[in-house]
Amino acid sequence: MKLNYSLDAEDYLNYQLFNASQSKNISNKRKRNRFIPAIVFFVLGIVPRFNLTEPFTLIYISISVLWIFIYPIWDKRLYINHYKKFINENYQNNFDKNVEVVLSEDKIFMKDGNSESKIDLIELQEINEVSVAFYLKLKSSQSLILPKNKISSLEEIKDLLNFIKEKYSISYNNFPEWKWK
């Protein structure tokens, strides 16, 4: 199966955010950053402070509660802005570059501009499907992004990827409702 498409900043951003959402380290870090400061402010609020105990208690407990609800919104934007800068810095030469991908039953051939590569499907570690793309992750931790909105034969690709999944015993993860949170 032959595919021709080009990737833009949005495709790279979706991939990076999906990858971050699947990382246990990033997930644990985000949880720690959400709850530890809130707990610290709550403890500071209930510990008696000078003669102004009541106002400080209300202020610190309010900060604690606000932190729990406002931090996720700020954190979400922080990651989006971080990855946008990263992508513009590292992938801007790849934007709108025509990519030709040939998927067969045992290899992936890729060609973009001046470079060509051939990957044996035995090197494929997992296939992730989200609402906007397929991410084919290799054992080398690199990935191939197949954006759904730029591919005309989605059902054929799904059938081929299911065949590859069965033939090579690769995990196929479907996240139809995935969104960056």
Q: What are the residue ranges spanned by the domains of the chain? A: 2-7+95-175, 10-92
Amino acid at the residue 35:
F
Say what the pTM is.
Answer: 0.87
Nearest to 5 by CA among 118, 119, 112: 112
The predicted model gives 101-117 an average pLDDT of 89
Element at 135 (helix H, strand E):
strand 133-138
Q: What is the pLDDT of residue 49?
A: 62
Q: Which two tokens stand for residue 14?
A: 């979706």
DSSP designation for 108: E
Question: Residues 104, 110, 111, CA angle at the centre, nearest 5°?
Answer: 140
Share of the chain above pLDDT 90, in %: 74
pLDDT per residue as tens digits for the range 40-99: 998 888 876 655 567 778 888 899 999 999 999 999 999 999 999 999 999 988 888 899
Residue 77, CA distances (Å) to 17, 56, 81, 115 in order: 11, 30, 6, 35
Amino acid at the residue 126:
E
CATH of domain 2-7+95-175: 2.30.29.30
Phi, psi of 112 (to 5 degrees): -145, 110
